[in-house]
Amino acid sequence: MNSLQLHLGITVSETSHSLLERLRQPPCDEAAWKRLVDLYTPLIHQWLRRYDVRPQDVDDLTQEVLRTVHRELPAFEHNRHLGAFRSWLRRIAVNRMRAFWKQRRSQAVGTADSAIEQRLAELEDPASGLSHLWDQEHDRYVLRRLLEVAEPEFAPSTWQAFQRLAVDGRPAAEVAAELGTTVNAVLLAKSRVLRRLRQEARGLVD
């Protein structure tokens, strides 16, 4: 668990309304799917560019990864191990990149040299340093994006109280005095926002 998770207290929740669960239940929740696509597209782009995927191919390969996620997500079962979804997503990304490089070779457009295959194999290995880097970047990115997505759902005063208390780590009394409210109101604001974040983060980072 990274420092941002610890700071926000994002852990396994009892809620039954997570983003993944909405997507796994037929028929597909289009709003939830759009949210997942918007959430993960920039991260997948970032990772593909590290594997020498040409800029003109990044969008197409990202769509391949997301199509595979969409197709296989109903069968995905969270095994209650930390990072089950991000590990599953990482395997899909590796498989799609391998297929991409295989096609490139067959079309004589270019070759995937042994260095690229070695990096893919390392990314596939859950014990490797590269996999650990994927996990850390994934969780930091997802939690920060969820903060951006959640902010418009709350009144500015609620978000300010949450930000100062939960993210900046300032004392509740100090935050209350700054915002001209009570300690109880500040704690309630933190609780409301964290509840919403846990609903969306459940399964993605835990």
Position 110, amino acid: G
Residue 11 has a pLDDT of 46
Cα angle 128, 6, 181; round to 5: 155
Would the CA dihedral through 75, 23, 206, 136 be positive or negative? positive
Domains and CATH numbers, the chain: 3-153 (1.10.1740.10)
Mean residue pLDDT across the chain = 83
**Segment 86-112, tens digit of pLDDT:** 899 999 999 999 888 887 776 654 444
Distance CA 183, CA 175 (A): 8
Residue 107 has a pLDDT of 60
**Segment 14-52, tens digit of pLDDT:** 333 477 877 877 777 888 888 889 989 999 999 888 887
Question: CB within 8 A of 206, min separation 6: which ones?
Answer: 10, 11, 12, 13, 82, 83
- 65 close to 93: Cβ distance less than 8 angstroms: yes
Residue 10 has a pLDDT of 52
- Cα of 105 vs its chain's centroid, Å: 32
Residue 115 has a pLDDT of 76
Of 127, 130, 106, the closest CA to residue 118 belongs to 130
Distance CA 65, CA 45 (A): 10
Distance CA 72, CA 69 (A): 5
pLDDT beyond 50 at 13: no
pLDDT beyond 60 at 190: yes
Mean pLDDT computed over 53-58: 87
Q: Which of 132-146, 156-170, 172-186 is predicted with the least confidence, judged by mean pLDDT?
A: 132-146
Phi, psi of 137 (to 5 degrees): -65, -40
Looking at the chain, the whole-number percentage of residues with pLDDT higher than 70 is 85
Residue 8 has a pLDDT of 54
Residue with tokens 């067959």: 106
